[in-house]
Each structure stands twice: as C-alpha cells, then as structure tokens.
Amino acid sequence: MTHPILPAPTSASVPVHHGVDRARFEAEIVPAGRPAVLKGLVRDWPAVRAAATSPDELAAYFARFDNGAAVRAFFGAPEMRGRFSYSDDLAGFNHDQRQTTLRAVVDQVLVGRDRAEPSHVYAGGVPMPVVLPGMAEDNPMALLDPTRERLTSLWIGNRSRTAAHWDLAQNLACVVAGRRRFTLFPPEQIANLYVGPIDVTLAGQPISLVDIVDPDFERHPRYREALAAAEVAELEPGDVLYLPSLWWHHVESLDAVGAMINLWWRDGPDYLTTPMLTMFHALLTIRDLPADERMRWRAFFDHYIFQTGGDPVSHLPLPAQGVLGPMTGTIQQRIKAILLRSLQR
C-alpha cells in the first residue's frame, strides 16, 4: 500500500528541537504557543524499545499491563483508505464503533500487518490508568511536573487517518511505534476547514469535512487558505509533538502497526470546564440576535470576559464586584444557580 502524500510540497515544517529538558520546555516551548517536534525525547521508553524489537514484542509489553477493561474501537473497510469520517449524507459514519478489549484490537492489527489492504482499526483515547495500570509510570514524562493533573492515553491501530480536529487540552503526542504525520492549522483557520456538526461527532470534538490527503477544492475552496497556513510534522518512534490547545490537527498513521501515548493537561483553575458549553448557551442567547445588537454584545464580551481593556472591575471595591470578582466556591455556586434557573424556564 502506498503512503498518503503530503498536503502540499510547500507546507511549512513544524520546528524540530533536540535535547529539550523540562526547564527549556517550560521557558521556551510552551510560552511560544506553537507546535514543536521534540526529536527523540522518549526513544528510551520501555514501550518504544519493545516496539523497536518487533510488533509482537510490543503486544507482549501491552499484555503485561492490560487488565481486560473495555475500550471503544473504530473499525473500517479497506476501501475507506483509512479515512475515518462521516457518511456522505452526514447522517452517520463511514465506519463502525463498538466496545471491545485492547487485546482484541492489538490482535487484529497484528493479523493484518502483512496484508496489502487490511481492514482499518484503531482504539484511541484509551485511558492508561484504567486499562493499562502501571504503564504510564513505566514510561515517565520528564517534561511535566509530576504533581500536575494530567490524562495519559494510548492510541493503537494500523494505517488510518484522523480528520482534522482540535482538542481542549495541551498535548504531548509521543510516538511509540510506526511513523506518524501531523498536518496542523492555527485555531483561526476554523472558517477555512469546513467543520462538521458540533453536537454529533466521531469521538468528542468537531472535525473538518475536508479530505486533507485528497482535497476537493471545488467543494471546499476556502481550504486553500487553510493549506497556506498549514504546518507538517513527520514523526518517528521516540519523537514527541508538543501541540498547544485548540490547534487543528489531522493525523496519519503511516505504517501497518502504530502506537502513540498522549499526555494531556490544562492550565488554569480547577473549576474551569470546556468553553464549548458557553458556545452552546450562546446559541440560545446571542447567535440569532439582529446583527447590530449581536455586535454590541461582542463589545460586552471583549470587556468582561476577554478583558481587552484590562480589569473591568478595578474601579469597584471587592465586596461590590459580585460574580465578576475573584472566583470562589460561593460565586461558582451562585453562577450555576443563575444558569440553571434560566435554562429551566
């Protein structure tokens, strides 16, 4: 099977960094707010060494930790060319999703590794502490504060393509087995990526409807603008991609056996939830206002939420700042009560 081609020969490459330690990561990489390839950062992980020996050795390594818990897996026919997406009418998907075990997914990947056109399969977002307890500790990430709350997950599958999507958290994508290609777009390219439904998704986040390997520019003409802003990261086992939150990323697993460990974390107070909830609420309160009134509300959001002019309540004494003051447990409950009352009307 031939490998998919790059989106365009002129696509910029994600900067590659060597010898990155935690101090440099925290002082340079993260503050830059841009994707970065951390070359060979986890080449000494036991999981990477096992994969380098053979796919069977990697499977045996996973089996040491696998407790048999159920995982959600995605299954597609050979003719879909590895592209997991919607059906043509957007009413369903072009693949099946069902609960199974990690062992069953690994077995199917191994069985199909020598076939010219195997069925496509992967399990993504597998929570390692739940399904593979102890494996995260066996493959430690030196760049992150060990006390920082994080989600560590596994991706395992064969050749496949994950549609361009964004994630809420920051991500260290660590390649364990097989080559991977990330095509990345800045968050502001959302208007040029022809995003599908935001409330019916493949795996949680909205996805682009553009086939990034074989784009249809007649159907998606604005994608040319997104492509001009694209960056491509080519990763080998042991490489890590730092991906800031909300960057769009299309991911190709290029080999018959692929595996990746993701470490996800968010900065900010613990009480924060996804701003997507605000977007859903805004559908009820803002979107369908007359255009001029809607733009007036934009000024209010700029002032109170994005604080483009600085602290909007600095002129008020603390007791008078109300819900706009420093967030406390009491204020959180007060805001939630206001929202609940409004939604129950």
Do the beta carbons of residue 248 and residue 205 sit within 8 Å? no
Neighbours of 311 (CB within 10 A): 10
Res. 342 pLDDT band, cuts 50 70 90: confident
pLDDT at 8 over 90: no
Q: What pLDDT does 97 receive?
A: 95
How confident is the model over 174-198, as a mean pLDDT? Answer: 97
Please name every residue paired with 172 in a beta bridge, in sequence order, or none if there are none: 242, 263
Q: Which domains does the chain have, with CATH numbers?
A: 12-265 (2.60.120.650), 276-343 (no CATH)
Tokens of 43: 């080449």
Tokens of 294: 């809607």
Neighbours of 247 (CB within 10 A): 21
How many helices and strands, by DSSP H and E, does the chain display? 11, 15
Mean pLDDT of all residues belonging to the chain: 94
Q: Sheet with 240-243: list strands edge to edge.
A: 16-18, 36-39, 240-243, 170-177, 258-265, 151-157, 120-127, 70-76, 96-101
Neighbours of 91 (CB within 10 A): 8
| Portion of the chain with pLDDT greater than 70, in percent | 97
Q: What pLDDT does 10 receive?
A: 53
Tokens of 138: 């066996």
Q: What pLDDT does 216 receive?
A: 95
Rg (CA), the chain: 22
Res. 5 pLDDT band, cuts 50 70 90: very low
CA distance 305 to 59: 48
Do the beta carbons of residue 124 and residue 74 sit within 8 Å? yes
Do the beta carbons of residue 163 and residue 208 sit within 8 Å? yes
Question: Which tens digits make up the pLDDT trace of 12-41?
Answer: 899 999 999 999 999 999 999 999 999 999
Do the beta carbons of residue 206 and residue 190 sit within 8 Å? no
| Portion of the chain with pLDDT greater than 90, in percent | 88
Do the beta carbons of residue 257 and residue 113 sit within 8 Å? yes
pLDDT at 2 over 70: no
How confident is the model over 197-226, as a mean pLDDT? Answer: 94
CA distance 224 to 192: 8
